[in-house]
Structures are given as structure tokens and as C-alpha cells.
Chain A
Amino acid sequence: MFRDSSRSRLILAVLLAAAVALLVLDARPGGDPVTSAVRAGGELVFAPAAAGVDGATAPAAALYDGLRRSSGSSDRVAELEQANADLKDQLRAARIDEQRAKQLDELLGLAGLGGYEIVAARAVTHVTARGYADTVTIDAGTESGVRPDMTVINGSGLVGRVTEAGPRTATVMLATDVKSAVGARLEATRKIGVVNGGTVPGGPDAELTLELFDLEAPVESGDRVVTLGSHEGAPFVPGVPIGTVDDVQVAPGALSRIAGITPAVDFSSLDVVGVVVRGPDEDPRDSVLPPRPDKGDRS
């Protein structure tokens, strides 16, 4: 059943060995000249293709977005009619540009409040082929000043951080990725903790989970969380809104307090984002958070 010529087996062995060699080379921490050269080559092909898809699919993307947003079958017809009417408007590229301009406006507003110097970019991939990592590709790279370990924000708050940067594209690990851990601080009380992507063992089922180091610290749902900031602003600059505390769990015997966080950013509809190329001179404290009464509609 598995008979094969020895030459064919040799070819398979060589290919498998090459794949394992690449795996070992690339899995080591730190950059490697071979793999980064190869990735730069891949990006050379990808960047024009992504730009082409961008231009060709703008109306289709608007349609998909409209369909995806409608939930519940009862008012689906009405929503589809609404989406259809919207689409007729949106077929004109000007309308789409207007939306992006609005997102960019919000982004610039947030960046201005915090004193962040940003490079604007667009997310050009949203899922990965096998679906394990929460990463997006953005269409700005080292040519625009983007480097690994830079904070990525949008108009609502923290998106993630840059993990890989090529000349024209960069890979952003979202805050919801399992590997992501962000130093965080509660609004006003200044109690610190870590916001992890996904759920932690024993924690609530949420997109983000806050582990608070101080068991005695008062925390309740509705409290808002901002980034604590890292040494010299890498990978995270201080003061960026992360989300709102959803539910708090106090497990008996636990060394930390765990709370589920509702992210400030809608990760399923990322479009215009900003990479913080230079952090603020001093911590903006809570000034970037929107005013309290508005916290219901931060989309």
C-alpha cells in the first residue's frame, strides 16, 4: 500500500528536512537574516496583491459587512432592505472614503489627546489560514517608520502591538491573542494588573481577562482599564483605553483577582489603525478615556 521508489522517498526526505530546518531557524528568538529576507520577498508579492484586492472589493466588502452586522432572523428582511439602500449609496467610492476619513478623524483625536505620534495604516488581513493566532496585517512597514514592539491603536483604544515589520507591511498581534499580555491600570484607583488575551485558567469566559495583583483593591463592573505603559514606550505606551470591567471573580485561595474585560475596540471590524511611532513625553493618565456619560456608545 505504501510502496514507492527510493528516489521518490529521498525527495520527500529532503523536503521534510528543509521544512524542519526552516522551522528550527525561524522559531529561535530574535531575527534571522535568512527568514527575514524570505519574508521580505513574500511581502513584495503580497503588497500589490492586497492593494489590488482593496480596490476591487470595496463594494463587496461593504455588502459583507452589512450582512454580518444584521443579527436575528425576524428583522433580517428589514435590515437587508436597509443594507441594500445603504449599499446603493456606498457603491460610490466617495462614501467609503468618507467612513474611513471618520475613523481616521477619531484616531487622530485619540492620538492628539494622548500626545501619541502615529502612522496611520489599514488592516489588510483579518484571519490566518489555520485560525489559531489573532493577528492582522497592516499596510505600513519600516519604510513608514514602523518597527517591531510598537503600540497599535485605533479611534476607540488599544488594538495590539507590532510583532514583525517588513518594508511595506507589518504583522500586528491583537490584544485578544492568547500570547498577548498588556500591563494595565484601573482608571482613577491606579491599581495595576495584567490584561491577557482570551481566558486564563479559572477566569470568566471573555475576550480579555484582567489579573489584578492587589486582592484588596476595590474593582467592580463598569470600571475602565488603560495601559500602564512600558519602559521607554515599547511595546506599550501609557494611557491607551483597553476596555471596561465586565464581571469580577474572587476565587478562594487565588493570589490575584480575575476580571473579564469588554474590549474598547471592536476587533471584528478593524479598518483604520494607527501605529504609535513616538510615545507621549509624560503619562496622559486618564485623559484619553472618553467622558463617563458617553461610555455606552464607544464604537
Chain B
Amino acid sequence: MRTVVTLAAVPAAVLAQAAIVNRLPFDWGAGPDLVVAVVVAVALTTSPAAAAGCGFAAGLAMDVLPPAEHALGRYALVLCLAAYVLALLRRNTGAGGSLDGRTSVWAVTGTVAATALGVGLGYAAIGLLMGDPRVSLAAVVVNTLVGTALTALVAPLVAFPLLRTREALSDDGYPTVQGPVPSGRW
């Protein structure tokens, strides 16, 4: 059931981002990133490997959809790494949530904002490595800050309901984790 929710939510977020959000004429360039919000919600409730797979798939989908203005794999790389690190931190420290396993809306918003900041900087860093002339200090500062702020604004509307749904569906004690289950401690 959790798998079904994820399989529906991630493509829906990707399509909504490409066809609706990117269509709005934001004068300042960057808009909110629904994909980051959804990937955070998935990463907080699954194993690191599954989170990495989900981030990779969502990022690659954003790379593939028009407009074709950056190289394929750039966003996939950043989102895959971000989702993996997030899931790993959550698994090993329990950070980002309270003791009873429920996550507050503020924690989710903060996590989404931190992830959006990291993703924005990572995306810019790859551009810098590849010699993208669009990556200048001023552009990075403006795009990352505006993008992070807008993504944090949509987090309670997108990431929080999805996270609660995934948490509720795992309450039966037999969480169905999509993707490969890590062996051992957990």
C-alpha cells in the first residue's frame, strides 16, 4: 500500500512540477520544487537504498522532461545523494522526528528547507565542475535562497500529508519497504 502511494505521488509531483509550476512566469527565475518535497517525505520513511533509488528516479524524470536545458543525470545525481544521506541520518540518529515516530509539521518543513538548500548548492556545484557559464555567485545565491524559501512554503502542503500517509500505513507493524531491504540491524 505504501508502495502504491509512493508510486503515485512521485510521478504526480514530477509531472506537476514540469507542466504546472514551471509554466508559471516567475520573474525571479526559480520556483518551488515539489520534487524535493516529495523525495524528502519518502526518504524519511524508508531505507537508505530505497530512498536513493527514489531520488534517482525522480531526478532523472526531471532531467528527461522538457525543457532540455541541462545535461541528463545532473539532477538525478544530486537528488539520489540527498535522499540517501537523509534516509541514513534518519535511520541512524532518529533525527527529524519525535520519539513516538510521528513527525511534526515544523520538523518536516525544516528538513525540506535544509534538503532544498543542499540540493540547490549541489546542483550549482555540478554546474561549476562542468563549466556552466550560468553558475555565477550572484545567480547561485538568488536561485538557491528563493528556491529554498518557496520549497519550504509548499512543504506543509506536499511533504507533510505524504509523510503522514506513509507513517499511518506502516502502523500495522509490518512496514512494506519498497526496494531492497537492508540486512542486519534494523
To the question of whether A and B form a pair in one complex, the answer is yes
From A8, A64, A130, contact of B120 by CB (8 A): A130
> Are A46 and B66 touching (Cβ within 8 A)?
yes
> Are B31 and A127 touching (Cβ within 8 A)?
yes
Q: Report how far A65 CA is from B27 CA in the complex, Å.
A: 12
B117 at the interface (CB under 8 A from A): no
Q: Report how far A128 CA is from B170 CA in the complex, Å.
A: 35
List of A residues within 8 angstroms of B184 by Cβ: 5
A112 at the interface (CB under 8 A from B): no
Residues 1-34 of A, flagged 1 when their CB comes within 8 A of B and 0 if not, give 1111101100110011011111101110000000
> Are A12 and B49 touching (Cβ within 8 A)?
yes
Question: Closest chain A residue to B85 by CB distance?
Answer: A2
Nearest chain A CB to B56's CB is how many angstroms away? 5
A50 at the interface (CB under 8 A from B): yes
B24 at the interface (CB under 8 A from A): yes
Among B2-10, B72-80, B103-111, B161-169, the stretch in contact with A: B72-80
List of B residues within 8 angstroms of A246 by Cβ: none
From B64, B124, B136, B143, contact of A39 by CB (8 A): B64
List of B residues within 8 angstroms of A23 by Cβ: 71-74, 77, 126, 130
Nearest chain B CB to A136's CB is how many angstroms away? 7
> Are B68 and A18 touching (Cβ within 8 A)?
no
Residues 4-21 of B, flagged 1 when their CB comes within 8 A of A and 0 if not, give 000000000001011111
List of A residues within 8 angstroms of B69 by Cβ: 128, 133, 135, 163, 171, 173
Q: Report how far A171 CA is from B72 CA in the complex, Å.
A: 14
B67 at the interface (CB under 8 A from A): yes
From A16, A22, A38, A172, contact of B81 by CB (8 A): A16
> Are A35 and B133 touching (Cβ within 8 A)?
no
Nearest chain A CB to B122's CB is how many angstroms away? 10
Nearest chain B CB to A177's CB is how many angstroms away? 7
Secondary structure type dominating chain B contacts: helix
Contact residue range for chain A? 35 or more
> Are B24 and A129 touching (Cβ within 8 A)?
no
Among B37-45, B87-95, B152-160, the stretch in contact with A: B87-95
Nearest chain B CB to A133's CB is how many angstroms away? 4
> Are A22 and B29 touching (Cβ within 8 A)?
no
Nearest chain B CB to A130's CB is how many angstroms away? 5
Q: Report how far A135 CA is from B18 CA in the complex, Å.
A: 13
List of A residues within 8 angstroms of B62 by Cβ: 129
> Are B180 and A177 touching (Cβ within 8 A)?
no
From A8, A126, A137, A171, contact of B24 by CB (8 A): A126
Residues 217-228 of A, flagged 1 when their CB comes within 8 A of B and 0 if not, give 000000000000
Q: Report how far A57 CA is from B77 CA in the complex, Å.
A: 33
Given A11-B49, A16-B80, A127-B31, A26 contacting B66 (CB threshold 8 A): no
Question: Closest chain A residue to B135 by CB distance?
Answer: A132
Given A130-B123, A132-B139, A269-B25, A8 contacting B66 (CB threshold 8 A): no
Residue picked from B29, B53, B136, B185, most chain A C-beta under 10 Å? B29
From A12, A26, A53, contact of B19 by CB (8 A): A53
14 sample A-B contacts, Cβ–Cβ < 8 Å, listed by A number: A2-B92, A4-B88, A15-B52, A19-B56, A23-B72, A27-B71, A38-B72, A46-B66, A128-B70, A129-B21, A131-B143, A133-B70, A135-B67, A166-B68
Chain B interface residues toward A at CB < 8 A: 15, 17-31, 33, 35, 47-49, 52-53, 56, 59-77, 80-81, 84, 88-89, 91-93, 120, 123-124, 126-127, 130, 132-136, 139, 143, 146-147, 180, 182-185
Q: A15-B56, A42-B64, A130-B70 are in contact. List 18 more A-B contacts (CB 8 A).
A: A4-B88, A7-B182, A12-B49, A16-B77, A22-B76, A52-B19, A57-B20, A68-B25, A126-B25, A126-B26, A127-B24, A129-B21, A130-B120, A131-B26, A131-B146, A133-B67, A134-B29, A177-B134
Q: Which 7 A-B pairs have the closest CB atoms?
A: A131-B30, A22-B73, A42-B64, A19-B77, A131-B29, A8-B49, A133-B69
